[in-house]
Every structure is written in structure tokens, then in C-alpha cells.
Structure 1
Amino acid sequence: MDTATNKTAADAAPMLDDFDAWLRGRHRWLQTAAARLIKWRRRPDNEEITDLADLCVLEASQNESPHFECPEPGFLSKAAGQAQVRLRKVSNVQGVNAIRNGATLDFGDASLMVIYGPNGTGKSGYARLLKQICGSKAKEAVHGNVFDKQSISPSARVHVRHGQDELDGEWTLARGPIPQLRHVHVFDASVASQYVEDKSEATYEPSKMRFVTSLIHVCDEVAGVLAARKTQLVSKLPKIPEEFKGTPSGVWLAALSAKVTDAALVHACTYTPELDDERVAGEAALAEKDIAGRLKAIERETNALVRLNQMVGGWKATLDQEAVKSLIDARADALVKRKAATDDAEKVFAGAGIDGVGQPSWKLLWEKAREFSVAHAYPAADFPHTDDGARCVLCQQLLDEESRARLSHFETFVKGKLENDAVLAERNVARLAGLLPVLPDIAEWLVSASAIKLDEADARAWFERLAARRQEVETAPTADAVPPVDWEPVEATLSSAMSNLDREKKSLTALQEDGKRKELSSRVLELRGAQWLHQQVQAIQNELSRLKSLAQLDRAITLTSTAALTKKNTELSMLELRTGYQQRFANELKALGGLRLPVEPESRQQGKGKVTFTLSLKGTHTLAKVESILSEGERRIIALAAFLADVTGSGQPTPFIFDDPISSLDQDFEERVVSRLVELATQRQVIVFTHRLSLLSLIEEAVKKLRSQAALEGTAAPVSLRVASLRRLGNTVGLPVDLSVRDLKPEAALTRLKNETLVQMRKAYDASDFLGYEDKGKSFCSDFRIVVERCVENVLLNDVVLRFRRSLTTYNRIGALAKIQASDCALIDDLMTRYSTFEHSQADELPTQTPDLAQLELDLDSLAAWIKEFNSRKVE
């Protein structure tokens, strides 16, 4: 590859930023954990943690694995662009407070959703449900309807838009938060108190800090798995007897560690038969009281063993395989040679007058004749003497020509090579056979075997094999046909017995010298310790394996140290979190109109790379707490600033949920909060729960201004508003109504009250349903009073002055005020006085009764007629 090609490849390789380079410097198992966190987009489960622990152990053992992974460079920047999340709907609500089972709260596509309702209409129930669904840190317990006999576990179906995808799934209290909504942030009184009164860990962490925090959690969990494995490695090594602790074996065992090699263990635990014999001899010597007498006995026993050894050695010399083979081979050779000589004799004596000539008996006769002739008849002549006048030494007759020839032929045969070879071979067989031992009887042998402590059954069986071999060797055609005998058991036992006697003799002799007893006692103790160590060799091997496993786990645990991660998170907190959070808090406090409040965030290191924040007073001379100095409204505004500074830094386009955000705030703060909420709604979904009409009016006014501005600029409105009202019906709450009467113009509101509420009241009235009638009646009175209020603003004052709006609108409007007459004011005053009693609390002794249905219809028609008449008046 040329230089240009190399440059192109280098340019194509992804560049490592500082964070990537730092991560590449971590342990390989941790890099693998990082790569998997990126791939899974979640924390590992127990099984995956166990797998990471295995990789950690492999790395600690310096072993390779194809499962080691490395994170892709620039992974955090790729993960930064998250799709926008919107909460679309919560449906089929079950078992949540007094909310009707099967209820639905639809948030639609509006960027700003306001859920309004008087006290007791289910706002808190829905807010608690959403906190549980989103996993808010300030979530509250969710209970079912305590007035319902049937207990239902809380559940709901949650509909979410994630980017372009529409998702829905079942939520239950047992399953916990919905993963796609885990970054949804909820603000309420409980969250506010955490920011003002408690040290609150920041909900927001920059992506790098959040990632490192996840790695810290993984390290802790892997370390926990490894520590648990250590606790399972319990030593099963037997306790060494106290007397052996000072011996070389005891000292070695006490120093046993993971560094000991297998070869060193085998060497230390070796205990040979020779060492055991030495131990036995030493113990016997130490136990002997009559040393002189024992030495004499040893001499006798040694002599007996020498004799036995010589006897067995003689048996082995004549009955070993080589000796047996020599005898059998000699016998076979003699038979072959004798056959050859016999065949030759048959040819020589074929003309003999009698049978049997040349046979062994005849040969014996011939040899005797030879001896007689040489010794007595013809001592001066060779045998056979056949000269003239010679006589047969057997029959005494004169030899004729034929007889002399026959005798010469006989002698030639007897002294021929074939016959001579046969005779020599037969003599060799006789010689070898004469060497075969004469075995004692079995009883005599058992007595001899007892001297070497050979087991009687073994001694008997061995001797029977020996006797069978001795017998079979005389007739067996081949050496392989002779039953074998293993000489080693007897020889080894003999040798051991003689060695033991020799050692005992030396030990006893040494004991007669000064100081040798103590030396021998020490040696025997050393040998006993070595024997015990040898007996525990398997347990010691197991212990060594355990120690090596522990050392391996300890090395692995060091690889789970979070020091480098904590240090990195601390650096990131200094660079990305502390300064950023303080600046965001200052900006939020300014936006909410709280610059005059002497409060600043103070960060505190909590260990493991965690940074928490608390709000403190600045410029004070005493250590006063914020909650003890500032008013309730001031505490609420700085808590809201801290909350927004905390969660907006993440850049995650997730929804905000505010539950009664302007509690305890004055008009100035309310307007600032509304402005900020509307501004947030330009970037993400904002959901607001409230029971205050002032907040709803301010939100509507702010949205209206944005729409007007957008219309002037010819652009799309930046915020879309959706308002839903929650209502109560008997003991059932959380009934959503898209538009309440206060959201309608007075004429439309009156029409709705007449066509819906009054119709329902009449049905209850006709059915004698007192509770239903009273409940609907109170709802009618409350709504009717609101309509009267709206008539003051919209009809009587022609929208010149509106509640919850600071500005006055006079252009083309103020002239209409000239239409107002005293009778108009009297009508409004009468209706407001009478219907306010149903909205405000009354003394117990003056309980408010629901007006008669006819009176309600009359008042409704009167107000509708007045609106129509007032709007038709001319300005004079």
C-alpha cells in the first residue's frame, strides 16, 4: 500500500475525542461494558452482570476472549439527537383513587395542555398516576377507591409518540415506570420542598456524566458478584494437629499461598515407602526398652531372613524363565538327537538276528561288556578284541569272520557322532534337571513367610503358583507353557523386612549414644508430619486451587475500582455541571422575576462522582437556612428556578408536568411563571394541572399574544393550547370535559346549562334522586355564577377589563360602557349575591339549600334575555 492510500485510510478512521481516548484507556472488560451499554441503551440485568464479571476475571488472569468489545468512537455525540417524546393519552385507568375505572385523559397534539378543575375533581389522582408512570423522584403512593368494596390494582394504558412512532402499552404499578417516559419531569409541592429543604441530587446529568455514572453502577454490581463468589470459596482444609505445626511440613502448610506451584506442592507432599519404613523403625526404636536384647533378636531375625532370601534366590535362579527355557530346550535337543541316533542304529542293526539291538538296554549290556573286556578278558587290547583266537566276552565262543565283522560294526555305531551327541544331550538334560529345587511342604513355607510378615493367603497362593511351575517344568513342551511366578512380592517383602531390621538396628545402636534419642524423636515427628501432609494432599490441592481462585478474584476486583471513573465524573462536574447549573439557575431566577432573592446554588461532592445541590442564602452573616428566612411564595419561586435549571440542561425533548405551579405566588410571580411555561411549550410538551382560574386566564392571554404576534409576522403560532376540565359526579371523579362553561361565551354557556345540566337535574328530580339532584344543582350554581362573572367582563364592561389581565383595552370598547344602567347593576348584583352562597363556604347553622328547579330556570332565562337586550341597546 502506498503513502497516498495510507493517508486516505487514516482520514477515513474516526477521530477520538478526549472522552473516547480516556475510555479506551480503561480495562478491557469495562470497555466491553461501555460498548454494551451503548448497544442496549439500558443497564445490564443480573445475567449480563455475571457475564461481565466473567470477562473481568478473564482479564485479571491475562487471558484473551473473543467477547471483549470496544466502544465506537463518537458514540455520545451520535446518541445526543434523541427523538421528541410526547405523552398522547392515558386510557383505561383502573384502580386509581376515585377516578372512574376505564377513564381516559387525552392530551392530544397541543404543545400546552391545561387540566383545570375545582378541588376534589380528580386532578391529584391523575397527577399521582403520571408521577408513577414517569418514575418521578417525588412520586406518591397510588391507592384505589377506598369507598369501593372491590380492590383493583392500579393500571392504565399509556399512549406515547416517540419521534414519528406511535407507541402504546399497558402500565401496572408492579412493572414500574414506562422506559420512554423516564426523562419526563414533574414539578409539584413535594419536588419544591426537596429543592428548598433537602440536599437534592441533580436529576440532570450531562450525557458523559450520565454514562460514567452508569459505568460506576456496573463496576459496583460486578464487584458485588465477585465478592459473592469469594464468600462461596470456603476453605475445607483440615486443621493440622498441634504437634505438627513446628515441623517442616507444618511450616510449609502455614505459608501456603496462591504463589505455590503445583510442582512445589507435589514435592512438599511426597512421602515415600522408604520414609514410612524409617518412621516405623524410629517409632519402634523409641518404644524399645531392652535395646541390647532387641539387638540380639534383630541379629537372629536377620540371619533367618538371609537364609530365606538365599532359599528364594535359589528357587528363582533355577526356576526363572531363562533357567526353565534352558532345561526345556535341552530336553527337546536331546530328544531330537536321540531320534537321529536311533534312526542310525536301525540301519546298522538291520541284519541283527534278534530284535532290540541298539536299544538302551542293549547299550548298557555293550558298555558292561566293554568294561569286562578292558579290565579282565583282554586288558591289553582295544574293545572289541577281534584278533585270531579271540572269543566273545559275553558268550565265550570263538569269533568267526562274521562275528568279528558284527562286533566291529557295533563298536563303530556306539562310538559314532550321532550316538555321542545324543548321549551328551541326555547328560545335559540330567544335569539341568538335577538343578531343579526341592520345595518344602506348604506348612514349612508358611512358617518361613510369617517371618517377613507376608499375608498367609498371599503366601499360600504364591507358593502354589511356584509349586505348579516346578511341576510343570519337567514336562512342559515350551517355556511359555510353564505357569509364571511373580517374584517381586516376596522379594520386595524380604528386602523391606531386611531394610527395616537394618534401620531398627542402626536406630537402636544410635540410641545408645548420648543425645541421639532427642534427635531421633525430632526426626520421627518430622516424618509423622510429612505423613499427615501426604494424607491431605487432595485437600491441600483443593486449598491451593481455592487460594489461586481467591487471588484471581482479588485481582479482578481491583479492575472494578471506580476511582478513575469517580475522578472523571468529578472533572466533568467541574467543567460541565457546576458552572452550567449555576448559570442556568441564575437565568431561570431572572426569568421568573426572582433576581432580588438572595439565593444561590451550592454544589457538594457526595462520593462516587455524585454531585448534589442545595440552595443557600448569600451575603448573610449567620448560617440561616433558606426555608426559615424566605416566605412560602419566595421558596416556591426559587424551587421552580432550581427545578428548571436542573432538568433543562439535559437537552432531552421530553414533556414537563406541573401540578399547581403557582401555589402561594403573587400576581407578579404568577405572570412570570406563566410566561416561562408558555416559552417552554414552544420547545416541548407542557402539561399543567391547576384549580386556579387566574392561572388558566393568564395562560390563555399569553398564548393569545403569541398567536397575535405570529399572525402579524405571517408565521405559524408557536404554541397550541388545549384546555380540559375535570368534573365530579357523586363519588366518581376525574371525568374530563373538553370545554367548561367558563371557556364559552356567556350566551353559549347559558345554552349549554339549559340543554344539558337542567335536563339532567329534571331527570333526577322526577326520579326522586335527591343526591343526584343536589350534586347537579350545586354544579349548576357554580357554573351559573361563573357565567355571571363572565357577563360582567364580556357583556357589561365589553372586555375593557378582564380578571387576571393587567392591561386595559379601551380602543373601540370603552364607549359601550355608556349603555350601563342602574337596573343592569342591580340584576348582576342580585345574581352574584344569591349564587355566591353555593360557591363559598357558609356557617354550619345556615346550611345552603339547592334552589328550586323552577327558580334556576327563571334565573337562567332572565340572564339570557338581559344579555340579548343589553347587546341590542344603542349608545346614546
Structure 2
Amino acid sequence: MVVSRAPTVWQALDAWGKQLSPWQQFVIAQATSKGRLRDDEIGKAYRLFLSAFDLAEAPAENLAAPVVSPRSADDECKPLCLVRVDGLVGVNALPDGSLLTFDPKLTVIYGRNGAGKSGFARLFANACFSRHKPKIVPNIYANGGTTDLAASFHVQLDGESSDLARVYGELGKLLANAILSRGHTTRFSDSFIGQETNVAKLVATIGPRTDMAAVRKLAIYGEAEKARLREMDSHATALKASSRQELVENLKQAKKDIIALITKLDALVSEFSPEKRAFRTALSKTARECTAAAAAVGTETFKRPFFKAVGTPDWEVFAKAAHALARKESDLHPGPDDRCILCERPLDIHSQAHITALLTFVEGEAQRAAQAATKAVENEIGALKTLEVNIFAPDSLVRAHVNRLDPNLATAIDLAAVSIAALRDSSVAVLAAHDPVQGSVNCADVNSALHALVEWIGSDLERLTKENAATAIASLELERQTLRHREALSKLLSGIETYVADALWCAKAERAKSALNPRHITDKEKEVFGQIVGPSYRARPAQECGDMECDMPIELQTTGQKGKTVRSLLLKGGDRPEIILSEGEQKAVALADFLTEVSMNPSNAGVVLDDPVTSQERKGLIAKRLVREAQSRQVIVFTHVWAAA
């Protein structure tokens, strides 16, 4: 028969922890393996927490750890022995330098009231785990000011109980401080005075949800915006001086010239489109292939062992020259009585046949195809050379218009024109060599900017020609104000970006706060206590009460509070012990509960009790129980009962 064992507390924690986030797993691993987390370990947990909620980059260091460190029975029961406490300073009325030494098992410190037992007991309650931590004050009868409290505990093996809720609280403090440090009181709207513009409206709503792409777009303020502002100033001056007609004529001319520039640019772009590149490459390929085919025909037909240059370009030139000269003599050359046009000697029948074949070759299909393909390439080269690429000359009127209205656009057009000219020259060179044509030109951005400039001029003309002076001036003032606000925004952009980033971080951090609620720890501790610890715990107090002859109908109740399971003992029927039991019985029941709690955790290395006995009749029973407890862990007792014995 297979006997199944109930899971241990560590196994339950391990199974639970694997369902949690890495930062929670790290906290549990450190708490269960080391007890209490150090400040640097809390810092590591905090960095993991921030990473989990996209509040920081993942930590560079390796923080991986098992959820619950394996514990053997020997590890859990390894004793912690308190050797002595000394170096006391400012602890109640105890003389400075007082000390106590302790036995590894049982130590009883007894004496009359006022001997100093409670002073040491308060010291232990503050230094060790205790349900109550009484305040330690210096000797009220001593002269002089207050003294910093001090005491030294000498132990053979160190250890502290873990406190997950405390760690959550510390993480919460770190997060709260980080949120506080990212808070801003800057009022960006104060920098946007005058008329309300779309820029001012956007800045007024700056927050964690702000579209920073829209802000950055409005924050652009460069040479183009400065030029526009100058243009608006000139418009306002003309309107106020009632001299708008000259300004209107200038704008009309600028619009006309810029539209003409767009037309020229479009024509050039079409000349260097991918389709045109493919067309020119095809021309080069055809010319190269036809020329090669014609050369191959000539070589195969007229190749002789005593000539080396047959079929070469020089030979082709010679053949064409001979053909042209022969046709000058006669369309039927060479006839029966004709002489050689080179050596002037009479031609025999074989020489006549050779010259006839040579002239036929020049007039043949291969040569005609090569000549046609070459002519097509030459025509294309000629067309490229006649292209007007200097469309934005330094002394041109259109350049003056664009440079005045948008200097940045003028620079972009210059670059485009240079690129087109270079592409034209390279295309001519590769066509002449019958090589593939490379490269194309894309002026979409320049073209778009030019069209926008035309629209801009059109809106200006609309304002100047169709609106009355007052309306036009008001419209100009709004646009000028918008430009001024964009200038202000460009200077504030860095601060706004920081503000929005911090606001977004804080908003995410506020949402992450809920993860630091220790409620799930409380629920898990209550669950573990109920499933694993509770059954044994409920049985043990009755046994402890029996050992001290205080057999009472005690019932155990548990509630969760701040990551801990809080127990309460009630008598059967729901009454609290202090309502029914005597002081001695209450003391015995409380001691039974305390010893039960201690026994449930093998890592509890020792206990310190302050006056555990108030009833003389149970003195012996309690003494025997504490002696028995001293066999498994160190026991230290402060009491006056032994002094009376």
C-alpha cells in the first residue's frame, strides 16, 4: 500500500510561487532561504518589480533564484544559540555595561521585583520576534541628556523570521518616492501669451496621454517658419499701409513661376523614372547585341589565316569606308573591267567575288540592325543632352520667390537639381558604352513641398483680395501668433517630453500599486495554515493545557491581516478567556498557545519568557514543561517565582 504524505509548508509555497511574477518569486526565494531581506535584496526585487510593469528595463544582473530554497531536516533544525548579551547602554535603569550569559539549553534569571529582570526582558522583546514590543527608555533617575540605546547579542548562528508583508511595504515606499520624485509643477501654458492658438490649446492639455508626435510636429521652428513670419510681417505692413496691390501682383507672379517650376520638375522626374531607366537599358542591350552579331558575321565570313584584325571595330570602319568609296565609283562595282580601289590593279574573278561579298556584308541585315540600334541609342543620348536640368538657376526669379518664402525648400530643390544633372550625365555615359543604365530620381518630397507652397500663396491671395483689411489683418495676426507659439514650443519641447514621459510613468506606477497589496499573501498564509498547520495546531494546545493541568474547552480561530494569519483563542461558546478564566488559568492557556506556536516551526531556535508563572500551584508543572522544551531549543526565563522557591 502506498501512503501519500501531506505537502509540507515549503512545497505549498513552492507551488504557489511558480504562479507568481518573477519579482514575487525573487522575494519569496530570498525570504524562505535567508529569512529577512536585506536592503540591497529589496532593491533587486524593486528593479524586477519595475521591469514587470514596464516601468524600467529588465535588470542586467542575473536575479534568477528558486522559488523556495530546498531545506533539509538538518537545515531546518540547525540550532541557534544565544551566548550572552552585553554592552548595554541606556537600557532602563540597568547599569551601562551590564551583561548576562546563557546556557545552550535552559537559563533561569530570577530575583526580586526591581532587580532589573524586566529591563532585560524588554530588550529581548525589541531585539527578537515578539507579539509586543515595549518601549525602552533610559534611566529616568540618571543626570544628563538622553543616550543612544545599545546592546550586543552574541550568537553562534544568526537567523531571522521572514516577513513578506514588510517587503511589500518597503517596495511600496520605494514606488511612492519614485512617483513623488517624478512629479512636476511646471505650467507650460504660462509661456503662451496672447491669442489662443491650436498650439496653446494642445499644450494646455499636456498629460500622460498626449500625442507627442503631434507636439513634435508643431514644435518644428526653423528657417522656413522664420521666412513665413517675415512674409506675414510684410503682408501686415502692406495691409496697414493700404498698398496691397503690389503685394498681390508679386504673389501672383510667384505662384505662376512656382507652378512652372513644378511642371519642369515633373517632366525631369518622368525622364528618370524606373520605366525610362528600363527603356534605356533595353536600347543599350539591343545595340550591344546587334553590334556583336554583325561583328560575328563579318568574322566568320572574311576571317583569313594571314589577317588578324578581321571582325574588329577598325575592320568594320574599313569595310564601311570601302563600301562608301565603291558606291562612289558605281552602284555595280566591281564590274568585269573595274580595278581595285586600293591597289588599282585589274581584278580577277576571285577578287571580284571577295569585294562583292564584302560590300554585300556592309549592306546586309546584320549591319542594318546594328546601325539602327546604334542610331536609336545616339538619338536617346541626344535627347538627354538637350534636357533642361538647370531649372533653378541662381539668378532665376523663381529661385528668389522660393528662397524668400521657404529657404529650406530652396536648398532641397538645389539638391534635387544636382542629383538630376548627375543622373543625366551618367545615363549618357553608359548609353554610349552600351551598358545598363542605373539609378532613378524621386522628388516626391520636394514636389509635395512646392504644391504646399502654391496652396499657401493661394490662401494668402484669397485673404488679400477677398477679405477687407480688418479681417485680413486679424487673420494674419492669428497666423503670426501661431508661429510665435510654435517658436516657444520648440524651446519647451525637451521639458515637455520629460514631463509627459514622467506623467506616463507615474500613471503606470499608480496602476502597479495594486500588485503591492499583501492580500494575496494573507490569503495564502491563511490557506496554508488551514490546510497544513491548522490541523496539527488545533490538536496541540489541548495537549499543552493538559500538561499544565489546565484542560479547557479552547477553540482556535484565524483571520488574515496585512499578510499574516492572526490567531485568536476562544472558549467553547465564543467567550474570550479573560471573561471566564482566572489570571493563573489565562497565563497557562497563553503559555500553551505560545509553546504550540514555537513547536510548529523547527527553525525557532530559542524562546525567552518573562514571568511565565503567576500561580504557585502550577509552578512545578510549568517548570517541568520548560525543562522538557529546553531539550529541543534554548530556553531563557525571567521570573520572580523561582526566587521565592
**TM-score with structure 2 setting the length:** 0.55
Q: Which residue of structure 1 aligns with residue 623 of structure 2? A: 674
Give, in whole Å, the separation in 2 of the partners of 1:229 and 1:32.
26
* Preserved CA contact (<8 Å) 1:82 1:652: yes
Q: Which residue of structure 1 aligns with residue 202 of structure 2? A: 252
CA-based RMSD of the aligned residues comes to 4.3
Amino acid at match of 1:253: V
Amino acid at match of 1:550: A
Q: Which residue of structure 1 aligns with residue 503 of structure 2? A: 550
Q: Which residue of structure 1 aligns with residue 291 of structure 2? A: none
Q: CA deviation at 1:139?
A: 4.0
Give, in whole Å, the separation in 1 of the partners of 2:100 and 2:546.
34
User: Which of 559, 576, 580 in structure 2 is aligned with 1:604?
Assistant: 559
User: Which of 564, 571, 590 in structure 2 is aligned with 1:639?
Assistant: 590
Amino acid at match of 1:225: N
**Match status 1:89 vs 2:84:** yes
User: Which of 119, 124, 133 in structure 2 is aligned with 1:130?
Assistant: 124
* Preserved CA contact (<8 Å) 1:282 1:524: no
What SS does structure 1 have at the residue aligned with 2:81? strand
User: Which of 580, 583, 593 in structure 1 is aligned with 2:549?
Assistant: 593
* Preserved CA contact (<8 Å) 2:172 2:516: no
Over residues 783-837 of structure 1, what are the superposed CA-to-partner deviations in whole Å (9 max), with x where a residue is unaligned? Answer: xxxxxxxxxxxxxxxxxxxxxxxxxxxxxxxxxxxxxxxxxxxxxxxxxxxxxxx
* Preserved CA contact (<8 Å) 2:89 2:97: yes
**Match status 1:237 vs 2:221:** no
Residues 1:576 and 1:517: Cα distance change in structure 2 (over 3 Å): same
User: Which of 509, 514, 520 in structure 2 is aligned with 1:567?
Assistant: 520
Residues 1:684 and 1:579: Cα distance change in structure 2 (over 3 Å): same
If you compute each CA radius of gyration, which structure gives the higher value, 1 or 2?
1
Q: CA deviation at 1:146?
A: 5.2
Over residues 739-759 of structure 1, what are the superposed CA-to-partner deviations in whole Å (9 max), with x where a residue is unaligned? Answer: xxxxxxxxxxxxxxxxxxxxx
Give, in whole Å, the separation in 2 of the partners of 1:502 and 1:91.
93
Q: CA deviation at 1:570?
A: 0.7
Give, in whole Å, the separation in 2 of the partners of 1:128 and 1:545.
51
**Match status 1:159 vs 2:110:** no
Residues 1:641 and 1:125: Cα distance change in structure 2 (over 3 Å): same
Matches within 5 A, 1:49-128: 49=42, 52-59=45-52, 60=54, 63-72=57-66, 74-75=68-69, 77=71, 81=76, 83-91=78-86, 93=88, 95-97=90-92, 99=94, 102-109=97-104, 111-128=105-122
* Preserved CA contact (<8 Å) 2:192 2:488: no
Give, in whole Å, the separation in 2 of the partners of 1:626 and 1:594.
12
* Preserved CA contact (<8 Å) 1:249 1:530: no
* Preserved CA contact (<8 Å) 1:582 1:601: yes
* Preserved CA contact (<8 Å) 2:208 2:507: no
Q: CA deviation at 1:21?
A: 5.2
User: Which of 255, 265, 270 in structure 1 is aligned with 2:220?
Assistant: 270
Amino acid at match of 1:269: A
Q: Which residue of structure 2 aligns with residue 801 of structure 1? A: none
**Identical counterparts, % of pairs:** 23
Q: Which residue of structure 1 aligns with residue 605 of structure 2? A: 654
Over residues 682-703 of structure 1, what are the superposed CA-to-partner deviations in whole Å (9 max), with x where a residue is unaligned? Answer: 211212222224985xxxxxxx
Matches within 5 A, 1:62-461: 63-72=57-66, 74-75=68-69, 77=71, 81=76, 83-91=78-86, 93=88, 95-97=90-92, 99=94, 102-109=97-104, 111-134=105-128, 136-143=130-137, 149=143, 155-162=150-157, 180=158, 210=162, 212-231=164-183, 233-235=184-186, 237-239=188-190, 241=192, 244-245=195-196, 247-258=197-208, 263-271=213-221, 272-277=225-230, 279-281=232-234, 283-284=236-237, 288=240, 291=242, 294-295=243-244
What SS does structure 2 have at the residue aligned with 1:573? helix
* Preserved CA contact (<8 Å) 2:110 2:643: no
Give, in whole Å, the separation in 1 of the partners of 2:55 and 2:516.
21
* Preserved CA contact (<8 Å) 1:50 1:225: no
Give, in whole Å, the separation in 2 of the partners of 1:88 and 1:62.
46
Q: Which residue of structure 2 aligns with residue 529 of structure 1? A: 482
Q: Which residue of structure 1 aligns with residue 326 of structure 2? A: none
Amino acid at match of 2:611: D
Residues 1:591 and 1:255: Cα distance change in structure 2 (over 3 Å): same
Over residues 110-161 of structure 1, what are the superposed CA-to-partner deviations in whole Å (9 max), with x where a residue is unaligned? Answer: x222233233433333333433443644344445555555787654443323
Q: CA deviation at 1:69?
A: 1.6
Q: CA deviation at 1:506?
A: 6.0
Q: CA deviation at 1:84?
A: 0.5
What SS does structure 2 have at the residue aligned with 1:77? coil
Give, in whole Å, the separation in 2 of the partners of 1:150 and 1:251.
65
Amino acid at match of 2:219: C
Residues 1:604 and 1:500: Cα distance change in structure 2 (over 3 Å): closer
Q: CA deviation at 1:648?
A: 3.1
Residues 1:218 and 1:604: Cα distance change in structure 2 (over 3 Å): same
Give, in whole Å, the separation in 2 of the partners of 1:502 and 1:571.
73
**TM-score with structure 1 setting the length:** 0.42
Q: Unaligned stretches of 5+ in structure 2?
A: 1-9, 255-403, 405-454
Amino acid at match of 1:649: M
Q: Which residue of structure 1 aligns with residue 573 of structure 2? A: 619
Q: Which residue of structure 1 aligns with residue 297 of structure 2? A: none
Residues 1:542 and 1:641: Cα distance change in structure 2 (over 3 Å): same
What SS does structure 2 have at the residue aligned with 1:536? helix
Give, in whole Å, the separation in 1 of the partners of 2:160 and 2:458.
88
Q: Unaligned stretches of 5+ in structure 1?
A: 1-15, 163-179, 184-209, 307-451, 453-498, 697-876
Over residues 330-388 of structure 1, what are the superposed CA-to-partner deviations in whole Å (9 max), with x where a residue is unaligned? Answer: xxxxxxxxxxxxxxxxxxxxxxxxxxxxxxxxxxxxxxxxxxxxxxxxxxxxxxxxxxx
Residues 1:679 and 1:526: Cα distance change in structure 2 (over 3 Å): farther
Give, in whole Å, the separation in 1 of the partners of 2:634 and 2:457.
102
* Preserved CA contact (<8 Å) 1:281 1:500: no
Over residues 272-299 of structure 1, what are the superposed CA-to-partner deviations in whole Å (9 max), with x where a residue is unaligned? Answer: 235324543554466x3x74xx346769
Q: CA deviation at 1:36?
A: 5.4
Amino acid at match of 1:636: K
What SS does structure 2 have at the residue aligned with 1:81? helix
Residues 1:583 and 1:549: Cα distance change in structure 2 (over 3 Å): farther
Q: CA deviation at 1:535?
A: 1.9
* Preserved CA contact (<8 Å) 1:600 1:615: yes
Q: Which residue of structure 2 aligns with residue 509 of structure 1? A: 465
* Preserved CA contact (<8 Å) 2:126 2:133: yes
Give, in whole Å, the separation in 1 of the partners of 2:174 and 2:149.
35
Q: CA deviation at 1:249?
A: 2.5
Amino acid at match of 1:529: T
What SS does structure 2 have at the residue aligned with 1:602? strand
Over residues 148-204 of structure 1, what are the superposed CA-to-partner deviations in whole Å (9 max), with x where a residue is unaligned? Answer: 557876544433233xxxxxxxxxxxxxxxxx3756xxxxxxxxxxxxxxxxxxxxx
Amino acid at match of 2:551: L
**Match status 1:579 vs 2:530:** no
Equivalenced residue count is 427
Give, in whole Å, the separation in 1 of the partners of 2:87 and 2:628.
32
Amino acid at match of 2:600: G
Residues 1:141 and 1:33: Cα distance change in structure 2 (over 3 Å): closer
Give, in whole Å, the separation in 1 of the partners of 2:474 and 2:569.
80
Q: CA deviation at 1:58?
A: 4.3
* Preserved CA contact (<8 Å) 2:610 2:639: yes
Amino acid at match of 2:173: E
Amino acid at match of 2:525: L
**Match status 1:692 vs 2:641:** yes
Over residues 461-502 of structure 1, what are the superposed CA-to-partner deviations in whole Å (9 max), with x where a residue is unaligned? Answer: xxxxxxxxxxxxxxxxxxxxxxxxxxxxxxxxxxxxxx9999
